[in-house]
Structure 1
Amino acid sequence: MRNKILFTSHVANFQKFNRPFMRMLRKDGWEVHYASMGEEEILDADKSFTVSFTRNPFTISNIRAYKQLKQIIDRENYDIIHTHTPVGSVVTRLAARRARSRGTRVIYTAHGFHFFTGAPLLNWLIYYPVERFMARHTDTLITINDEDYKRAKRTFKTDVRYVPGVGVDPERFKPRLTKKQRNDLRRSLGLKPNDFVMIYPAELNKNKNQTMLIMAMEKLTAANPHIHLLLPGQDSMNGFHSKLIKEKGWQNNIHLLGYRADIPQLLMASDLSVSASYREGLPVHIMEAMTAGLPVISTKCRGATELIEEGENGYLVDFDDVEAMTNRIITVTNNSNSAVKLSKNSTKKAQKYYMNNIVIEMQKIYKV
């Protein structure tokens, strides 16, 4: 009889992080199922279920999700349940209590706890007690950054493992752009071959804090009118950033690109990766920038501090310190030799986070 595993996440879009592991398990003979809100088709699964998950923990919909999921779990007799996303994982682990007593192993990957050093007190009051309580319903807790690992290892009563992120597929960055392809892509964005181009691929929202970078452009464009900032990502703030850019008159230097499916190519067409986030787990956009061979300048958020070695592959600045961010960017633009060194170190450091290494680590955890 085949081993059977259920993956859960409240949104189906999260499957993109699980698919390498799903493919690996199917190759090893496992039957793979997936439960989510079902807003898009689930790939690389033998069977998928639509469950009434919602991000808001205080809605009746999650009670329905609990009942639906419990019915699925009790019927299917899984060997492993691997759950993701904060609310989805709470619902899943509660629904799996009876299954655990029968031998089902429950794995939870925390993609960055909402409580962390410097987090608001409210986050600690709400999220920490919940995660600590739910640890008793978890057989293996996977953390993706060192800070979360050390805290969970110290205070949670469960098996805690560290896996460095969700992995980056270096094949997405092959073949490398030729000089002509790079210049053609730049021209399609209204950029010149010799412009200095920064990029921050992220959803436009308060946490990602694109406003900090937009404000830095005042001094940056004064120092170098040929500097540009690319902001690919869906807008979750109803045009706030677009209005701000227009008010400042920086439309020629800041480019809101919306959703893009060609992030690896945009990274390879850029000169510098920048990030202004307040909170991250282990930021994929920085790992991808490193894979593309870009120097990185970021705020000192959890995860970024693990990826960026000061002066080696980039620089770290304090939250909302526009002046420090500006000065670091100017340092990179004015010193091509330093930029080359940072770039080479980024490429080398990125190898630790390649997908094949992460798959090997996950394979060890599944086989325990």
Structure 2
Amino acid sequence: MRAVIVTNRVKRYVNGFKSMIEPLIELGYEVVWAADFTQFKEDLSTIPCKIHQTNFRSNPFDPNNITAYSQLLELLRQEPVDLIHCNTPIGGLIGRLCAKHAKVKKILYTAHGFHFYTGAPIINQTLFKWGEKYLARNTDILLTINQEDFKAATNFKFRKDGKLCLIHGAGINTGYISNSNRDKIREEIGIPASAIMVFSAGELNQNKNNRVIIEGLAKINNPEVYYVLCGEGKLRKDLEELSEKLGVSNQVKFLGFRTDVLDILSAADIFAMPSFREGLPRSLMEAMDAGLPCIVSNIRGNSDLIEEGKGGFLLSPKDVLGYAKVIEKLAIDTGLRRNFGALNKEKVKDFDFKNVKSEIKTIYKSLM
């Protein structure tokens, strides 16, 4: 039996890929992974399957995607393929079109976050939704990772006997975060041991909406509350200037790109994710596993993980005063932080990599 995994650009062999590839190998499939490996930062020999360089680009108008279509179609026509599992919007589009033309027996697609989410622009609600509905007709199993996407796809029409599934995301390794180095890490990044540390991780862009936390911090007017950001992005300079303008630059720490995010999480007191759009955010799950209370925007993905008043707070992405109030509330209430953190640490166990891998393996088995 032969299976092909389709993803976009790959930098590391992480859990999201392992949860698809390893179950197929265990079930006896010969696996080929079609993706763009030009920026892979590890040893390619660590990948336990064949790889096929495919020039996928996330921009749908990039001409490389025309090349990617040809590259993937050639792979699928070399010899019969029993199963193809597509990921990302571009991989889902090109992969399913190629699979149809190559007469692949079983076609799966994991939606890591539909573009026609609640509050999305009109073009997303029309063109992208129509596109997903059309492609669903060439899909045997559609996997979703949050409740909103699952509900949105309930009226899709699939291939004969096709079905819709909800899984627990890509999976994280739970139970590995320790706060034993808390003081050392705080000293390294310049946070006093007695201070309250609010933490965010991710690209510094418009969607991540970090400015609302900086603005909230200014309203609190408490020099003992710090905001630490891990990540790079085009808005870094703007956020630094905003911090300076609001008089909180001494309390906002920009750490840039870091490979030790889990260690830094262990030194935090509160996690913040005020994004406008998410699928099922891994960084939020990691914060839950670290036992942190979480203040997040009330959007899909976030609301799958955090329940209002149980593990954290859900707010509108633009509610500056709301974020200020809940940061202040958690900052002064050690018991509440501890209770929320314990709830999160228990809830996130369902999203452990081993559980996700088992879910996907069961789905693969159903197609054999």
- Do these two structures clear the TM 0.5 threshold for a shared fold by scoring above it? yes
Alignment of 1:232 onto 2:235: no
Match of 1:199 in 2: 199
In the TM superposition, what whole-angstrom CA distance separates every residue of 1:7-38 from its partner, at most 9, and x where no partner exists? Answer: 11121137522124323433443322211122
Alignment of 1:209 onto 2:209: yes
CA contact (8 A) 2:270 2:294 kept: yes
Match of 1:89 in 2: 92
Instruction: Specify the code of the residue in structure 1 equivalent to 2:155.
Output: R
Match of 2:173 in 1: 169
CA contact (8 A) 1:207 1:279 kept: yes
How big is the shift at 1:250? Answer: 2.5
Instruction: Specify the code of the residue in structure 2 equivalent to 1:170.
Output: T
Instruction: Specify the code of the residue in structure 2 equivalent to 1:177.
Output: N
TM-score calculated relative to the size of structure 2: 0.92
How big is the shift at 1:238? Answer: 6.1
Match of 1:74 in 2: 77
Give the number of the structure whose residues are more often helix, by fraction: 1
TM-score calculated relative to the size of structure 1: 0.92
> More relative contact order in 1 or in 2 (CA 8 Å, sep 6+)?
2
- Runs (4 or more) in structure 1 with deviation over 4 Å come to none
Instruction: Specify the code of the residue in structure 2 equivalent to 1:118.
Output: G
State which of 338, 341, 345 in structure 1 corresponds to 2:339. 341
Moved more, 205-214 or 245-254: 245-254
Cα distance in structure 2, aligned partners of 1:141 and 1:332:
39
Instruction: Specify the code of the residue in structure 1 equivalent to 2:78.
Output: R
How big is the shift at 1:105? Answer: 1.1
Aligned residue for 1:137, secondary structure, equals coil
Cα distance in structure 2, aligned partners of 1:308 and 1:46:
36
How big is the shift at 1:275? Answer: 0.8
State which of 38, 54, 57 in structure 2 corresponds to 1:54. 57
CA contact (8 A) 1:19 1:44 kept: no
Instruction: Specify the code of the residue in structure 2 equivalent to 1:26.
Output: I
CA contact (8 A) 1:198 1:229 kept: yes
Alignment of 1:121 onto 2:122: yes
Aligned residue for 2:336, secondary structure, equals helix
Aligned residues: 358
Match of 2:112 in 1: 111
CA contact (8 A) 1:33 1:45 kept: no
Instruction: Specify the code of the residue in structure 2 equivalent to 1:167.
Output: G
- 1:292-331 paired onto structure 2 within 5 Å: 292-331=290-329
Moved more, 263-272 or 148-157: 148-157
CA contact (8 A) 2:19 2:360 kept: no
CA contact (8 A) 2:21 2:31 kept: yes
State which of 253, 259, 262 in structure 2 corresponds to 1:261. 259
Cα distance in structure 2, aligned partners of 1:136 and 1:293:
42
CA contact (8 A) 1:4 1:30 kept: yes
CA contact (8 A) 1:20 1:359 kept: yes
Change (3 A) 1:59 1:344: closer
How big is the shift at 1:59? Answer: 3.4
Cα distance in structure 1, aligned partners of 2:91 and 2:12:
11
How big is the shift at 1:320? Answer: 0.6
Cα distance in structure 1, aligned partners of 2:165 and 2:19:
19
Aligned residue for 1:265, secondary structure, equals helix
CA contact (8 A) 2:13 2:47 kept: no
CA contact (8 A) 2:218 2:247 kept: no
Moved more, 205-214 or 12-21: 12-21
State which of 237, 241, 244 in structure 1 corresponds to 2:242. 244
In the TM superposition, what whole-angstrom CA distance separates every residue of 1:326-347 from its partner, at most 9, and x where no partner exists? Answer: 1011111111122111111111
Percent of matched pairs sharing the same residue: 32
CA contact (8 A) 1:22 1:44 kept: no
Match of 1:272 in 2: 270
Structure 2: gaps of 5 or more residues = none
CA contact (8 A) 2:8 2:88 kept: yes
In the TM superposition, what whole-angstrom CA distance separates every residue of 1:25-66 from its partner, at most 9, and x where no partner exists? Answer: 334433222111222345424211111222222233222211
